[in-house]
Amino acid sequence: MKNFITDSNNIKLDQKSKYLRQLVFQCLESEKRGHVGSALSLIEIIRVLFDKFIKKGKSKFILSKGHGCLALYVMLYQKGYISKKSLLSVGKFNSQLGGHPEHDKIKGVEISTGALGHGLPIAVGMALASKIKKKKLQYYVVCGDGELNEGSIWEALLSASKHKLDNLNLLIDYNKLQSYGAIKDICDLHPLKEKLLSFNFKTFEVNGHCVNSLQKVLENLKGIKNFPKAIICHTVKGKGVSVAENNPEWHHKSFLDKKDLDSIRKALA
């Protein structure tokens, strides 16, 4: 299969991607804090999944990178799972939407995530159970690149390979930054593709902000049998807001001041 890689830094966002980012920042305006960079690198990945591949009774979505949940929340709002009032209540006392997604609080959240390294192992168990019960369900799991530091991730990859889970689709948000530093400086993942291939995952790379490329590579995964699948999504942390792009200080913002908010509005106008 062809790889779909272009420069993630230079790709232009369409109006829908800008609108989804505007919703993220509407969520942040009242509380003035949240995982900003982590959510913005995920927008197109989650958008394409929910627009084209997450179908009731046919597939399930798990955001293992739970702290990027603002991107998930705006898509759940777009798909009618939650109201605008609920969306804008993120982080408030008694809100159903917290800083990490919680199961049983809202539809569309299959498991509670945020403790990194948990989502993929649980998805592997769910995918295996579906195979045993002969259910034709596809599982789409999004992990962060920093999350791949967790040993449970690699144990899950081994298990998925052993059981030939062709109903498991792993997407890695590869923005090259984790928490407050660069992946290469903290725990280098290179060569990531070769590592995943060595675990018998059919592995591909894509520009994680190019909607058309994401759609094509995900569509092409459907024909693969007897192998779990992985897509390395090359993204930019903070994509769409220049002050936040590739800036580890925007992994989580404890306070968004007026200057920050004005910069954001201008970028997304």
Please tell me the number of Cα atoms within 13 Å of 183 on its side-chain side: 19
SS3 of 58, please?
A: coil
Amino acid identity of residue 207, one-letter, is: N
* Contact residues for 81 (Cβ-Cβ < 8 A; gap 6+): 106, 107, 108
- Domain of 254, CATH number, reads 3.40.50.970
Q: What DSSP character marks residue 12?
A: P
User: 3-state class of 171 per DSSP?
Assistant: strand
Residue 97 pLDDT more than 60?
yes
Token look-up 């159970």 returns: 129
Domain assignment present for residue 68? The answer is yes
| In-domain check, residue 153 | yes
Global pTM value? 0.94
| Total structural domains within the chain | 1
Band of pLDDT at residue 183, cut at 50, 70 and 90: very high
* 209-256 pLDDT per residue, tens: 999 999 999 999 999 999 999 999 999 999 999 889 999 888 887 778
7: pLDDT strictly greater than 90: no
203 inside domain: yes
Residue 211 lies in a domain: yes
In a domain, 24, yes or no: yes
**Alpha helical stretches, state H, 41-136:** 43-48, 69-78, 84-87, 119-132
Confidence at residue 253, expressed as pLDDT on a 0 to 100 scale? 79
Residue 10 counted as domain residue: no
Q: Could you give the CA distance from residue 210 to residue 233 in angstroms, rounded to a whole number?
A: 10
**What is the residue range of 66's domain?**
15-267
